[in-house]
Chain A
């Protein structure tokens, strides 16, 4: 009986999240446009104004999804509250950042605060599973690593949100991978959280894909990044999701290393790419230009924005396959 019910409940929470995000996005977009909260679509010749901060719709979808999870999994209230609290705090930081841009150093510190619900509610298991190493006992150090994990995931996904559809497209692949592994492990409650994240990303991708009708802004990318970090901790998928996030870490780590530390986009004078007259993007050949994933993809020749995002999604799909292999190796060695 339980086996028949589980796919139904997961389907229910996912559909509810999809509908909520899908319905909220145009409403939020209209409200943002009316308030003049728009951003330039910089990778297009026309440089259209697109409503910003529409990531609020993702947060609305996730809130509805988590509330639906509370109804069907009342026993998992602690994990669900920790997940929702993390997403809401990161989302609030994103709202502040979208309205009054935060400094390059204050943003990671503030996003680390989004981990407070997970730590305060003790919704973590301080025994991460690492391939070859097995279960590691980190009772004292683990809670100190949680803020770093949330800051890394939220900021690396934030730094990936540079092209139409890149953030929801790549995170949807990671979320469905996490959901698959968690359901296989029998962790239906946390697996449902991964499923609702996938549903929210799918709904938002419809509006954010090329050519974008909405931008998620830092509100969307920081909250989604925090959600991925929370999933890794609550689902005990730390090593697996680290591998799935390789393209995001590659983008963030090399971007930071190449500009020598934490800097805001406005502070970096050289751009990693150039927009050509034919609408294609080309990698900058300047030595001091930031090394980003987009620049790496474009290194061998110019591409259109749609092709770049497709490349990012293919690279995320490959890293997700490697993440599944990491899970199998962890299980096999154990």
Chain B
């Protein structure tokens, strides 16, 4: 169980980071609006929102990867040193 604490902490961090990203999406990406007059404008609005949100989700995934990689590298290098 003790062995799982760092991974549980990563899970909580990833979740909080995700909430932070959705907050940024709510204040930024969702505000993008090219109007609703034509189909092209509606498609452009939705596409821009998805692309902007996708970019933020990518930041979330990269942040998640960075934390996990640093945990794994630190733990394994400590193990190698002990060996």
Contacts and interface: CB of A to CB of B under 8 A. Distances in A.
Nearest to A286: B76
A98 to B, nearest CB: 30
Interface string A273-297: 0000000000101000001000111
B15 A326 contact: yes
A299 B75 contact: yes
A329 B19 contact: yes
Contacts of B19: 131-132, 326, 329
B42 A140 contact: yes
Interface string A102-136: 00000000000000000000000000001111101
Nearest to B61: A253
Interface stretch (A14-22, A187-195, A311-319): A311-319
Contacts, number: 95
Most interface-central of B1, B64, B68 (chain A CB within 10 A): B68
A130 B25 contact: yes
Interface of A: 130-134, 136-141, 145, 239, 242-243, 246-247, 250, 253-254, 257, 283, 285, 291, 295-297, 299-301, 303, 311, 314-315, 318-319, 322, 325-326, 329
Nearest to A257: B65
A78 B31 CA distance: 34
The 4 A-B residue pairs with the shortest CB-CB distance in the complex, in nearest-first order: A299-B75, A133-B26, A132-B26, A322-B15
B22 A322 contact: no
A271 B1 CA distance: 25
Contacts of B42: 140
Nearest to B47: A141
A311 B3 contact: yes
A47 B6 CA distance: 32
Contacts of B26: 130, 132-134
A299 B76 contact: yes
Interface string B53-68: 0000000010011001
A242 B64 CA distance: 14
A250 B68 contact: yes
Contacts of B6: 300
Nearest to B39: A140
Contact of B71 (A132, A133, A299, A319): A299
A323 to B, nearest CB: 9
Most interface-central of B25, B64, B76 (chain A CB within 10 A): B76
B4 A297 contact: yes
